[in-house]
Amino acid sequence: MRDNRRNLLESIVPDPNKVAVVFCLAGAGAGLALPPGWHGSHRSLMIVFALVSLTLLAACLRLKHGHRLSPLGAQIALTASVGIITVAAAIGPSVHDNLAVLYIWVAVYVALYFGPVAIVLQTGAAGVAYAIVLLAGHSSLRAEFLAWNSIFGTAVVLAAVVYGLVATLVKYGREDSLTGLPNRRSWEERANDEQERGLAYQLPSFVVGSVT
């Protein structure tokens, strides 16, 4: 079922691997923008360069091998992205103004290519991580709340809007525009689901073949 949804989305929205590469490169660019005005320690600067290197490596791997990535692998990659953003935001000169907005990209990406459960888990994990970063700082509680709310208020709204648009596109991609009845794509997906179910329950091959 996940593969069917992913195939349908790839015919409607941009290829997930290309979008991931663009996001990685943009994130690396944001990290490289920090050194010219850097006021932190030399060690923190080295950590930033290490994170940028990891991000660029992730972009290369995603570009070359992204098509082999399973849904679980993509989830793990997103979690790793949240970790990189969190570390970078924690050591950056201003977590609110510089790198925390990258959390929004994670929310948009997961809303484009995953379901509601993944959206809640990934966005929630990012929200908790950013809250920890803010609480570890020295700002007032009010300033921390405003910073957190500005980032994750935007992330939640964008994720909801993007997921709603994608769900609408998926729905119309499975229906005939004139009659509203399931189209050929919908029947092919159902046939694939039944075939996978038959294989999972080890049904005879002629039963599985009769569905398709």
Q: Does pLDDT of 128 surpass 90?
A: yes
Interval 143-167: pLDDT, tens: 888 888 888 999 999 999 999 888 8
33 found inside a domain? yes
Does residue 194 belong to any structural domain of this protein?
Answer: no
Q: Which pLDDT does position 5 carry in this prediction? A: 52
**Structural domain containing residue 145:** 2-173
Q: Which residues contact 129 (CB under 8 A, 6 or more apart)?
A: 82, 83, 85, 86
pLDDT of residue 1: 45
* pLDDT interval class at 208 (50, 70, 90): very low
Residue 199 has pLDDT above 90, yes or no: no
- Whether 134 is covered by a domain: the verdict is yes
Q: Give the CA dihedral 180, 185, 187, 189, nearest 10 degrees.
A: -130
Does residue 186 sit within a domain?
no
Q: What is the pLDDT of residue 174?
A: 66
Residues 175/186, Cβ–Cβ less than 8 Å: yes
Assess if residue 185 is contained within a domain: no
Neighbour tally for 60: CB within 10 Å: 12
Asked, for residue 147, whether it belongs to a domain, the answer is yes
Is the CB of residue 117 less than 8 Å from the CB of residue 131? no
The lowest-confidence range among 107-121, 141-155, 167-181 is 167-181
* Residue-averaged pLDDT of the chain: 78
**For residue 196, what pLDDT is reported?**
63
Model confidence over 45-81: pLDDT tens digits? Answer: 888 889 999 999 999 988 888 888 888 888 888 899 9
With respect to residue 143, please indicate whether it lies within any of the assigned structural domains: yes
Q: What total number of domains does the chain contain? A: 1
- pLDDT value for 154: 92
For residues 66 and 20, is the Cβ–Cβ distance under 8 A?
yes
Read off the tokens for 76.
């793990």
Which pLDDT score is estimated for 194? 63
The more confident residue out of 7 and 131 is 131
Residue 139 lies in a domain: yes
Model pLDDT, residue 192: 65
